[in-house]
Amino acid sequence: MSCPTFESLSAEVDGELAQLEAEAMRSHLVGCDKCRARRTQLLLLRGAVRNASASPLASDRLKARLAATAQKRGRAKFLRLGLGLAAAAAVAGLLLPWVRSKDVVTELVGDHRGTTVTGEEPFDVVSSDANVLERWFEGKLDYRLRIPRPPATRLLGARLCDVGGRQFPLAAYDREGRRLSLFALGTAAGSQGGTCREGVAGFTVCRQAADGIDYMLVSDYPGAEAKRILTSMLSERP
Amino acid sequence: MTENELLTVAIAAANQLKRFAQNLCGDVDGAEDLVQEGFLRALANRAQLRDASRAIPWLLMIVRRVFLEKHRRSERQSHLIELDATLTDPPIGNLEEEMLRGALSEEVSNALAALPEDWRSCLLLREVDGFSYQEIAQIVECPVGTVRSRLARARAELLVSLHTYAAERGIAQGARR
């Protein structure tokens, strides 16, 4: 057998020859020093290419960008549906101007349901260590986020939620088998007493400011208990 | 495949997507933009993905499409190079030891960067990512036979470049041809 072509040897090292061709190649290689040397050369080249090629680690920023891209698209679809309904309502004279003020809270409750309760929307970072989660948020927010570490609860992970182009961090907890989402809505003036409302898309929403950050807790606890949990969370110090 | 399932795949393959994009466009920030843009397009067209097990090659194909749309001129140029190129056997020299020692990493990088995009993409998808010819054909949108040919040409070109480098430094003395 005459020596195989370079292309055939190249396909051989990739294991991409047809069975008959591969068998003929193996027989030839046994008796041909030159082709064996060529084959060795191709295998060494493989190692050299692997060593030399860029192998960047995807930054958390990229993963967050991908998550935000999916979320924005989901929001856009939601908005298109909402605009359709609004147009229909306008025709019927039933515009509800109060809906707009509730949008952010309602959407964040949806994030609590999708991420913390059902798991349909993945965490950006999974860890039970608050330090790890805080470090992940560094550089992504224009304020320093402190994630409470309350006793009798377990951190599950965190995510950066996008509502209307604004970023809201979410930290998810497990408490007695029930799921809680703590959102930071932005900076606030000092600390303020909390408010609570039950029945927001099926959940209880409590808000309270502490250390200059406006927090919102979403859970399925009754209002008074949810308020007590949030106050207790925010009074903890690392 | 739902949007969330596609997101999970994309996040799990983020390193691979970014590496591929970086090898296409040559810079880190541009690579992340490319991946994000490709992912957005994938979300919009996810109904076209019939086989969920092929999601990663499909994402890579879209990332490359986005890149090519932005670089139409260089794509045409590489096709011209491919049409003109004839495959001649590269020399067999004493490159092996140098390659094993990794001393030629920079030269390999430079030689890789000098390859036409479609040769380089095929080579990296094979050598680094370990895709089969069939999968590479899907990603770079060409027949399997073309993948086989591009891989051989890319390897021959790299060996010629490295042999030239080695000969210039007296490494390849005693080379067999």
Is the distance from CB of A181 to CB of A170 less than 8 angstroms? yes
Looking at A92-212, list the stretches that DSSP marks H as alpha helix, in order from N- to C-terminal side.
99-111, 130-137
Tell me the average pLDDT across B22-41. Answer: 88
Tell me, yes or no, if A152 comes closer than 8 A to chain B by beta carbon: no
Confidence band of B28 (pLDDT split at 50, 70, 90): confident
Nearest by CB to residue B23, choosing from A38, A45, A54, is A54
A53, A61, A70 member nearest B43 (Cβ): A70
Say how far apart CA A121 and CA A71 lie, in whole Å. Answer: 9
Q: Mean pLDDT throughout B124-146?
A: 93
Q: Give the pLDDT of residue B73.
A: 52
Question: How far is residue B115's CA from residue B154's CA, in Å, rounded to a whole number?
Answer: 7
CA-CA distance, A227 to A217, in Å (whole number)?
A: 8
Q: What is the DSSP string of A91-127?
A: HTT---TTHHHHHHHHHHHHHIIIIIIS--S--SB--
With CB atoms and an 8 Å threshold, state whether A10 touches B151.
yes
Pick from B99, B123, B133: CB nearest A47: B99
Decide if A73 and B127 are in contact by the 8 Å CB cutoff.
Answer: no
- β-pair partners for A179: A174
Question: What is residue A208's predicted lDDT score, i.e. its pLDDT?
Answer: 87
Question: Which is more confident, B165 or B6?
Answer: B6
Residue A101: the pLDDT is: 37
If one looks up domain B105-168 in CATH, what number appears?
Answer: 1.10.10.10
C-alpha to C-alpha distance for B70 and B64, rounded to whole angstroms: 10
More confident residue, B120 or A69: B120
Nearest CA in chain B to A10: B152
Interchain pair A58, B108: CB under 8 A: no
The reported pLDDT for the residue numbered B26 is 84
Hey, what CATH topology would domain B1-83 get?
Rna Polymerase Sigma Factor; Chain: A (1.10.1740)
Considering only residues B127 and B29, tell me which one the structure prediction assigns the higher pLDDT: B127
Q: What is the pTM of this model?
A: 0.57
- Which token pair is B157? 């070109």
pLDDT in tens, chain A (238 residues): 689 999 999 999 999 999 999 999 999 999 999 999 899 889 888 988 887 776 666 667 788 888 888 877 766 655 554 445 444 444 333 333 323 335 678 888 888 888 888 777 788 888 888 988 988 888 777 778 888 888 888 999 999 888 766 788 999 999 988 899 999 887 765 566 678 888 887 888 998 888 778 889 999 988 889 989 998 888 875 5
Domain boundaries, chain B: 1-83, 105-168
If one compares A136 and B152, the residue with the highest pLDDT of the two is: B152
Torsion of CA B113, B116, B119, B123, to 10 degrees: 0
CB atoms within 10 A of CB A20: 8
Which residue matches tokens 């193996």? A26
User: Using CB atoms, which residue from B123, B152, B158 is nearest to A6?
Assistant: B152
Residues B155, A65: C-beta atoms closer than 8 Å: no
> Measured between CB atoms, does A199 come within 8 Å of chain B?
no
